[in-house]
């Protein structure tokens, strides 16, 4: 689709170029207003994306030679799997600026530089169609996220930021190994071209393990989740919003963009393991969240459970499951992002995240509790909210595969209702009240909470438009997966044959 200018490149580069303009500003209030205006302009620049045509092809494609000798290309494009993540990333930026308006008081200029840099990197991840370009953006987002936690985080920020960095870097190293392997075997870094190629099961086996581990750390799946609660609790509000809304989705996006289309036979082979880990993540995340006294840590552990539903839907390999996974990716970003913004708002009043220090808000802060209650209902999938759409689709997909698999998901849903009701009831009517002298939401807080609330109802009551966008790409993904997943199965033991291949390469025989 040609709009006369490179839409995706402009969306990626504009925040980065605008970030450089921050160094010419001095007053913190001017920096905040400048970044907010940049975020609004970024949304306006994305208006051409509304012309996306619901089909299975990559659209808004930009393809140029980058390093010809290495066959590297500057290759961008979006389809139904990635375009919703692009819109989510674009929407998160102005919300992060607004929720940080009074929360961030030191190094304001550097903080907003990190927000803009992060936006460019994440947009690049969701738009890149060249493996090396994808990896460059994937690694680039590490720097601003590390700084957001390490510089503007809580008392244990150094521990949390280092843990986040080391976990993610470990996964990135494995991802790089898989990328090199695809180039050597497939002869190209172009993702659409690799999707058309056939790889042996032995190759897929090791490539899947490397990629899946990298993506599982990013999601994060149990038992690689331990960096997430620390990062969420120590990060400033905007850092937690970005982390929950878009960074975790990079992992599940990786499963959909790389593992299923490039390693279909290995994905089928490892599906029982991935489903089992997803179920454990759902139940474990909910059980641990139920016992938390820190509101932010409770929501952080809830993310482990919610993202477990996403990975479960992906590895069911049926239409309802994958649709549910994509809806959960979008809905979790909206709902959990809003919850973290509200935690930041109440922290500015109480200077504490303990449930016991934030009770009795219903009488003194009714507007706040309205939005909190709405997001709590959406979080555990109450009918009429966006959370219900994604969760019910994953449930349907699970029951289509096995009634027992579907039944194993039920405790996760019950735990989600239990921990959200527990914290919400205490915050609304718990005694003694902590909020007697607190002011209810101001105009800025009303704005940044109303926006996600609109999408909670829109997706929950009328999801047809979103189905129309994602269904062609989902159908194409599953059709290609079904055709190719059994084409490469071999009778040899994969571990033994793969090891023999590696030894042969080292010995110079292959």
For residue 416, what pLDDT is reported?
92
103-114 pLDDT, tens digit per residue, is: 888 899 999 999
Question: What is the Rg, in whole angstroms, of the alpha carbon atoms belonging to the chain?
Answer: 22
Instruction: Give me the mean pLDDT over the 201-223 stretch.
Output: 92
Task: Report pLDDT for 333.
Answer: 92
What's the whole-model pTM score? 0.90
| C-alpha–C-alpha distance, residues 367 and 213, integer Å | 42
Domain span at 456: 7-498
Strands (E), 418-476: none
pLDDT category, 508, cuts 50, 70, 90? very low
Mean pLDDT value of segment 172-183: 93
* 176: enclosing H helix or E strand: helix 157-186
Provide the pLDDT for residue 437.
81
d(CA 273, CA 35): 44
Structure confidence by residue, pLDDT tens digits, 296-332: 999 999 999 999 999 999 999 999 999 999 999 999 9
The confidence score (pLDDT) of residue 433 equals: 73
Q: In the predicted model, what is the mean pLDDT of residues 357-368?
A: 88
Average pLDDT over residues 410-427: 92
Domain presence at residue 503: no
3-class DSSP state for residue 78? strand
Longest C-alpha distance within the chain, in Å?
Answer: 77
232, 240 Cβ separation under 8 angstroms = yes
pLDDT score recorded for residue 389: 93
Task: Specify which residues 73 forms β-bridges with.
Answer: 65
Residue 187 has a pLDDT of 86
Q: First-to-last CA distance in the chain?
A: 44
Q: Which among 270, 123, 257 has a CA at the least distance from the CA of 195? A: 257
Q: Check if the beta carbon of residue 293 is closer than 8 Å to that of residue 457.
A: no
> What is d(CA 380, CA 375) in angstroms, rounded to the nearest whole number?
9
Which residue's entry shows tokens 């936006």? 119
Q: With left for phi above 0 and alpha for psi between -120 and 50, is residue 464 left, alpha or beta?
A: alpha
SS3 state of residue 129: coil
Report how far residue 409's alpha carbon sits from residue 386's, in angstroms, rounded to the nearest whole number. Answer: 19
Is residue 508 assigned to a domain? Answer: no
Nearest to 94 by CA among 419, 341, 402, 406: 341
Q: Is residue 340 part of a domain?
A: yes
Task: Copy the structure tokens of residue 276.
Answer: 């089992």
- Is 506 domain-assigned? no
Q: What is the pLDDT of residue 71?
A: 81
| For range 166-183, the mean pLDDT | 92
Residue 414 has what pLDDT?
A: 93
Residue 30 has phi, psi (to 5 degrees) of -65, -40
Distances (CA, A) of 320 to 53, 398, 404, 452: 22, 9, 17, 25
Looking at residue 280, its pLDDT comes to 94
- 338, 371 Cβ separation under 8 angstroms: yes
Q: With respect to residue 101, please indicate whether it lies within any of the assigned structural domains.
A: yes
**Closest to 44 in 3D by CA, of 80, 94, 113:** 94
Q: Is residue 2 part of a domain?
A: no
In contact, 133 and 66? CB cutoff 8 Å: yes
In total, how many domains does the chain have?
A: 1
Considering the chain, what percentage of its residues have pLDDT values greater than 90?
A: 68
Give the model's confidence band at 492: pLDDT under 50 very low, under 70 low, under 90 confident, else very high.
Answer: very low
- Is residue 504 a part of any domain in this protein? no
Phi (first) and psi of residue 83, to 5 degrees: -70, -35
- The confidence score (pLDDT) of residue 95 equals 94
Contact 473, 79 (CB under 8 A): yes
* Residue-level pLDDT at 351: 86
Rounded-to-integer distance, Cα 134 and Cα 189, Å: 10
Asked if 311 contacts 219 with a C-beta cutoff of 8 angstroms, the reply is: yes
Q: What is the pLDDT of residues 8-30, one digit of tens each?
A: 999 999 999 999 999 899 899 99
């Amino acid at each position: 689709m040609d709009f006369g200018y490179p839409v995706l490149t402009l969306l990626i580069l504009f925040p980065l170029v605008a970030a450089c303009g921050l160094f010419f500003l001095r007053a913190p209030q001017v920096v905040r207003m400048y970044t907010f205006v940049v975020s609004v302009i970024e949304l306006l620049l994305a208006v051409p994306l509304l012309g996306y045509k619901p089909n299975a092809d990559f659209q808004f494609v930009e393809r140029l030679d980058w390093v010809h000798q290495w066959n590297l290309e500057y290759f961008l494009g979006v389809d139904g799997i990635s375009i919703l993540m692009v819109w989510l990333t674009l929407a998160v930026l102005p919300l992060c600026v607004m929720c940080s308006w009074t929360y961030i008081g030191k190094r304001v200029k550097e903080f907003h530089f990190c927000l803009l840099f992060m936006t460019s990197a994440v947009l690049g991840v969701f738009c890149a169609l060249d493996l090396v370009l994808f990896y460059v953006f994937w690694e680039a987002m590490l720097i601003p996220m590390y700084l957001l936690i390490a510089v503007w985080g809580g008392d244990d920020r150094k521990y949390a930021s280092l843990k986040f960095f080391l976990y993610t870097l470990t996964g990135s190293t494995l991802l790089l190994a898989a990328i090199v392997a695809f180039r050597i075997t497939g002869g190209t870094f172009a993702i659409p071209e690799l999707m058309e190629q056939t790889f042996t099961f032995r190759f897929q086996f090791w490539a899947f393990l490397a990629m899946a581990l990298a993506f599982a750390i990013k999601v994060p799946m149990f038992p690689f989740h331990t960096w997430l609660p620390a990062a969420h609790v120590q990060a400033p509000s905007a850092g937690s919003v970005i982390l929950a809304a878009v960074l975790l989705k990079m992992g599940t996006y990786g499963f959909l963009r790389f593992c299923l289309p490039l390693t279909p036979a290995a994905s089928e082979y490892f599906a029982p393991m991935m489903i089992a880990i997803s179920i454990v993540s759902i139940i474990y995340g909910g059980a641990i969240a139920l016992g938390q006294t820190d509101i932010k840590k409770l929501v952080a552990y809830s993310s482990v459970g919610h993202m477990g539903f996403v990975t479960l839907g992906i590895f069911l390999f049926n239409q309802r499951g994958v649709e549910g996974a994509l809806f959960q990716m979008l809905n979790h970003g909206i709902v959990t992002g809003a919850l973290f913004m509200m935690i930041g708002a109440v922290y500015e009043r109480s200077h504490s995240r303990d449930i016991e220090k934030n009770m009795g808000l219903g009488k003194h802060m009714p507007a706040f509790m309205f939005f909190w209650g709405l997001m709590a209902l959406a979080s555990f999938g109450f009918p009429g909210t966006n959370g219900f759409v994604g969760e019910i689709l994953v449930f349907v997909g699970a029951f289509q595969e096995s009634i027992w698999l579907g039944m194993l998901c039920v405790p996760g849903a019950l735990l989600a209702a239990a921990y959200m009701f527990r914290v919400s009831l205490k915050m609304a009517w718990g005694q003694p009240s902590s909020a007697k002298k607190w002011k209810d939401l101001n105009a800025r807080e009303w704005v940044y909470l109303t926006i996600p609330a609109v999408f909670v109802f829109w997706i929950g009551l009328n999801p047809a438009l979103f189905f129309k966008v994602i269904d062609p790409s989902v159908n194409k993904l599953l059709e290609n997966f079904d055709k190719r997943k059994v084409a490469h199965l071999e009778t040899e033991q994969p571990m033994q044959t793969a090891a023999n291949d590696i030894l042969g390469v080292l010995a110079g025989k292959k």
